[in-house]
Structure 1
């Protein structure tokens, strides 16, 4: 399985965020928040990719029947799951897969056209 970073503008167009996507566009994980511009977002995504091997995974409950993962560098959360998992073991396995894919993910769509219609989801 391969993955790439996808970049999205918020509905208001004021901020940008990243997602980790499979080749069939399945959303595996995402940034924990938004960034003021695409350069800052790209820098954050690049940092996560370069430091994937050093990230710590934490599994958390989401209500009575769900689990999520988050990845941290020290006290800073740098990536979160994009969905809930029914079982803890599923969340743990998904996080392990994401850690492997992060390290090799392509930085797709970062050379955007000035009109904002470039690849990678930024419009």
Structure 2
């Protein structure tokens, strides 16, 4: 009998649930991405928007390949909050998904992004803006095809 058999087993590794979500901004033809944790909290997001889902996926992979080259900084977002930024050269590329009340929490969230992003999968569907923000009518998500963003039909 292997001694490892007696150790508690985790159902799944936390990084396995982390994923990149593509979402459509309110303006047509603007697809962005964000990295979501296993509990669906936003860890970070793209600064740029892309013409279609395929271009967005390409840029996620480029960002991941260039992750070790990126410089990072924790900045004051307001008099009482902090955010983080990642730059490739002088170009702002990735930003924190939210503001933090403490500088140390912000730095920890940045480290978490750098740790989890390389292991994350890219979700195949594009989330419509209304469904993501919780406003308006709920819609079913449909997989994006050939770069087209499609809104689903209303759920009942």
Q: Structure 1-normalised TM-score?
A: 0.85
Name the count of aligned residue pairs: 117
Deviations 1:49-106 (A, max 9, x none): 2222222111110111110001111111111001000111111111001001111111
Report the CA distance between 1:110 and its aligned residue: 6.1
How does 1:13-52 map onto structure 2 within 5 Å?
A: 13-52=28-67
Corresponding residue of 2:111: 96
Moved more, 74-83 or 7-16: 7-16
Question: Distance between the aligned counterparts of 1:106 and 1:4, measured in 2?
Answer: 5
- Tell whether the 8 Å contact from 2:125 to 2:142 is kept in structure 1 after alignment: no
Q: Indicate yes or no: 2:89 matched with 1:74.
A: yes
The residue matched to 1:108 in structure 2 has which SS?
A: strand
Distance in 1 of aligned mates of 2:125 and 2:78: 37
Query: Which residue does the alignment assign to 2:21?
Result: 6
Kept in 1, the 8 Å contact 2:23–2:33? The answer is yes
Q: Distance in 1 between matches of 2:120 and 2:105?
A: 21
Structure number with greater Rg is 2
The list of structure 1 runs, each at least 4 consecutive aligned residues, that deviate by more than 3 angstroms after superposition, is none
Tell whether the 8 Å contact from 1:49 to 1:104 is kept in structure 2 after alignment.
no
Q: Does the aligned pair in 2 maintain the 1:70–1:79 contact within 8 Å?
A: yes
Structure 2 gap segments, 5+ residues each? 1-13, 127-140, 152-156
Question: TM-score of the superposition, structure 2-length normalised?
Answer: 0.68
* Equivalent position of 2:72 in the other structure: 57
In structure 1, the residue matched to 2:143 is 118
Aligned alpha-carbon RMSD (Å): 2.0
- Rounded to whole Å, the distance in 1 between the matches of 2:58 and 2:91 is 15
